[in-house]
Amino acid sequence: MNSPILPTIQSPADLKKLSIEQLEALAAEVRQTIYDQVSKTGGHLAPNLGVVELTIALHYVFDFGTDRLLFDVGHQCYPHKLLTGRLPLLTKLRTREGMAGFPEPRESAYDLFSVGHAGTGISTAIGMARGDSINGEAFDPENNPTGRRVVTIIGDASIVNGVAMEGLNNAGTLKRQFLVVLNDNGMSIAKPQGAIAAYFDRVRTSRTYRQMKRAAKDVVAYLPGGSIIGEMYHRTGEMMKAAIAEDAWFEKFGLLTVGPVDGHDMRSLIEMLIEVRNFDRPMVLHVHTIKGKGYEHCEGDATTFHSPKPFVVQGCRVELKSSGRSFTSAFGDAMVDLMERDDQVVCATAAMPDGTGIVKVLPKFPTRAWDTGICESHAMDMMAGLAKTGLKPFFAVYSTFVQRAFDQVFQEVALQGLPVRICLDRAGLVGGDGAVHHGFCDISILRVFPNAALLAAMDEPSLRAGLEFMRNYDAGFSVIRYPRDSVSDRLVNDDCPPFELGKARALQIEDKPDVALLAYGVMAVGALDAAAQLNGDYRVNVYDARFAKPVDIELINDLVQRGVPILTIEDHALTGGFGACVIDACHAAGLPTSGIKCLGIPERWIYQDSRAKQLAEVGLDAPSIARTVREWLDTAPVVPQVVKTGVKTSV
């Protein structure tokens, strides 16, 4: 039995000592290693299984200790990390002690950007290409053959993202080597949407493409090396352009196009990369890969296995670990209910039907629900157009992605006074995806708009009640936020009152309270747990704030006038967050704020780990909340009562 190769790979330099056969054996090891680990801990699986051979070939041909490698859609970086000395970190994947699930410069000099959002790789690569040229470090086949080359890998359908298109448009103006590797696996997170995706499907499946691919391979066989790639292009280019419209499409941007080539044929990949690496103008190498390659259940259901929870394979059956009913699932069911009851309700998501729960809606309402693909800005504008026609649009999007549509919220939604409904999944700390995906600034960026209503859900009944409020809120746009977590059943048997604009919900009331915990969203559940830990020492009132805009100023006024200290609690940045909304509302109403303390995410990056550990790290788990209350009340002076006859409420 041959000894394993992967443990011997300390850096990409070790790859260059291997034969093609050994590289193919290494690919099988890398694929199995990633599969085994993700089955235990969860993580991004199918996208990484699909790029194993491509990643090995790139590191074999280029020297990314000097050359630049930039990722777009960073969740396809696991093979890259294993080839750059991080195998020991894999066993603690997506934890603080282990390997991040996205490129992370803190881990390795081979990772140039911490990146988790689609469409950015081409533009940042152009920046580095221009910078290297200015610094005299750029590769030039004649004047600087040892200079830096630039390669960017873009995939999972993010080529259709608006930022990627802007990058392609600018890449064509470069006067130097620049390689865009299009990892075309026919997928994004889910099935890709739109005309360009359909176009690539036609290219991959056309009989003409298969014929021209064979013809091009025959021509290349007669060429001695990469130094005459231009001759190869001129011999075959017109023929290829006449046969494959895709070439003409990319060449409108000024980029020569080669491919599609088989992304799992190691020998052909290496030969092609050797051919193109010294070309001195911008180029697209179109590589066709299979998402989930090597495992039938991953290939057959690449959406489920894009980023699965831990799982076990039992014969022909795959069991995913269950951690309880998620907010995502609860939202999907609630949207089905809304759309069944109100035929004016429509909804959309941007390439995240599974991740947002819209997957439950799409087959039931095919003419009223859409997946727009990876294009949040377009989706938000489409929602504005739908609202303008009198419909009730709901846009389901991750909190970390809503800022990509901030300008559209401003110009096409808020400025027009349109009642678009924005549903923010993955709000707050997100666990293993880490800093690139935390939803920590949605309140601070959206609260600035007139007539916006900002809500948060603490559990499934409150999520449904909040969505019902939004369905009938027409004064402006509305937003509801909820985390990547399981819904609590703590209050499942209690009546959940309807949402009323700017009104909090009392969860626990004591006579003459020592402190009031005013918590936003799921933090209300933690506040109840903290109150239980404080029982016997302090009398604690607990409120589900429900609204960050407008806040319940009448409740706050009552507490302040009675001299009750208020602790605001939120799974959001302190800067501009819910607590800041409360302080600002008090200032506007002429209320003192000396008796108000704010808990939230501090102004520093919180890296990958479990959500529970992240909450504990920033002092937002129940024991930390209870400890904060004890320390505050034990050391703070008594808050004086405020005598006021009224309070301004037009905040």
pLDDT digits 0-9 by tens, 438-473: 999 999 999 999 999 999 999 999 999 999 999 999
Q: Is 412 among the residues known to form the active site?
A: no
Q: What angle do CA 192, 169, 136 make, to 5 degrees?
A: 120
In degrees and rounded to multiples of 5, residue 370 shows phi and psi of -145, 145
The answer on pLDDT for 391 being more than 60 is yes
Which residues on adjacent β-strands are paired with residue 393? 346
Q: Which two tokens stand for residue 535?
A: 């029982």
The catalytic position among 94, 149, 291, 549 is: 291
Residue 94 lies in a domain: yes
Residue 495 lies in a domain: no
What's the pLDDT score for residue 193?
52
Average pLDDT, the chain: 88
What's the pLDDT score for residue 248?
54
**28-42, 283-297, 354-368: segment of lowest average pLDDT:** 283-297
SS3 of 24-84: HHHHHHHHHHHHHHHHHHCCCCHHHHCCHHHHHHHHHHCCCCCCEEEECCHHHCHHHHHHC
What's the pLDDT score for residue 250?
76
Residue 299 lies in a domain: no
pLDDT band at 237 (very low <50, low <70, confident <90, very high): very low
Distance CA 172, CA 549 (A): 46
* Residue 256 sits in the same domain as residue 388: no
* Residue 466 sits in the same domain as residue 577: no
What's the pLDDT score for residue 345?
98
The answer on pLDDT for 191 being more than 60 is no
**Mean of the pLDDT values across residues 504-522?**
97
What's the pLDDT score for residue 317?
74
SS3 of 234-279: HHHHHHHHHHCHHHHHHHCCCCEEEEEEECCCHHHHHHHHHHHCCC
The catalytic position among 176, 404, 426, 505 is: 404
Contacts of 645 (CB under 8 A, 6+ apart): none
**260 preceded by a cis bond (ω within 30 of 0):** yes
pLDDT band at 200 (very low <50, low <70, confident <90, very high): low
Q: Do residues 160 and 184 touch, judged by C-beta distance below 8 A? A: no
**Mean of the pLDDT values across residues 157-169?**
86
The answer on pLDDT for 642 being more than 60 is no
Q: Is 555 helix (H, G, I), strand (E, B) or coil?
A: helix
Residue 300 lies in a domain: no
HSE-CB at 464 with a 13 A cutoff on CA atoms is: 15
Residue 491 lies in a domain: no
What's the pLDDT score for residue 215?
41
Category of 176 on φ-ψ map: left (φ > 0), alpha (ψ -120 to 50) or beta = beta
Q: Work out whether strand 453-456 and strand 256-262 pair parallel, antiparallel, or are unpaired.
A: unpaired
* Residue 162 sits in the same domain as residue 107: yes
CA distances 491 to 329, 461, 488, 515, 535, Å, are 18, 9, 8, 22, 19
Instruction: Identify the domain containing residue 416 by its residue range.
Output: 327-481
The answer on pLDDT for 339 being more than 70 is yes
Contacts of 17 (CB under 8 A, 6+ apart): none
Q: Total structural domains in the chain?
A: 3
Q: Which two tokens stand for residue 162?
A: 């608006």
* Residue 331 sits in the same domain as residue 272: no
Q: Do residues 436 and 117 touch, judged by C-beta distance below 8 A? A: yes
Category of 292 on φ-ψ map: left (φ > 0), alpha (ψ -120 to 50) or beta = left
* Residue 589 sits in the same domain as residue 476: no
Buried b vs exposed e over 428-439: b needs ≥16 C-beta within 10 Å? bbbbbbbbbbbb
Torsion, Cα of 87, 88, 91, 96 (10° steps)? -110
Q: Do residues 107 and 100 touch, judged by C-beta distance below 8 A? A: yes
**102-116, 227-241, 305-319, 489-503: segment of lowest average pLDDT:** 227-241
Place of tokens 């697209």: 284
Q: Is 291 among the residues known to form the active site?
A: yes
Highest mean predicted confidence (pLDDT) among 44-48, 306-310, 567-571:
567-571
- Work out the angle between the directed axes of helices 523-534 and 622-635 (0-180°, nearest 10): 60
Distance CA 41, CA 375 (A): 30
> Residue type at 391?
L
Q: Is 404 among the residues known to form the active site?
A: yes
**196-210, 342-356, 431-445, 537-551: segment of lowest average pLDDT:** 196-210
* Residue 392 sits in the same domain as residue 525: no
Residue 497 lies in a domain: no
* Residue 346 sits in the same domain as residue 457: yes
601, 556, 593, 551: which is closest to 575 by C-alpha? 601
* Residue 155 sits in the same domain as residue 45: yes
3, 2, 26, 31: which is closest to 14 by C-alpha? 26
* Residue 157 sits in the same domain as residue 103: yes
Other residues' Cβ atoms within 10 Å of the Cβ of residue 80: 26
Q: Do residues 38 and 308 touch, judged by C-beta distance below 8 A? A: yes
* Residue 440 sits in the same domain as residue 536: no
In degrees and rounded to multiples of 5, residue 406 shows phi and psi of -60, -45
Q: Do residues 79 and 56 touch, judged by C-beta distance below 8 A? A: yes
CA 265 from centroid of its chain's CA atoms: 30
**Mean of the pLDDT values across residues 327-343?**
97
Distance CA 80, CA 57 (A): 11
CA 127 from centroid of its chain's CA atoms: 23
Residue 110 lies in a domain: yes
The pTM assigned to this predicted structure is 0.86
CATH number at residue 77: 3.40.50.970
pLDDT band at 226 (very low <50, low <70, confident <90, very high): very low
Check residue 100 and report its DSSP letter: -
The catalytic position among 104, 376, 412, 570 is: 376
CATH number at residue 543: 3.40.50.920
What's the pLDDT score for residue 309?
82
* Residue 174 sits in the same domain as residue 39: yes
Which residue did the predictor score with more confidence, 448 or 119?
448
The answer on pLDDT for 63 being more than 70 is yes
CB-count exposure of residue 640 (10 Å: 0-12, 13-18, 19+): exposed
**550 preceded by a cis bond (ω within 30 of 0):** yes
> Residue type at 375?
C
Rounded to a whole number, what is the largest CA-CA distance in the chain? 92
Torsion, Cα of 556, 557, 559, 565 (10° steps)? 70
pLDDT band at 363 (very low <50, low <70, confident <90, very high): very high
What's the pLDDT score for residue 90?
94
* Residue 543 sits in the same domain as residue 470: no
Residue 293 lies in a domain: no
298, 293, 324, 299: which is closest to 313 by C-alpha? 298
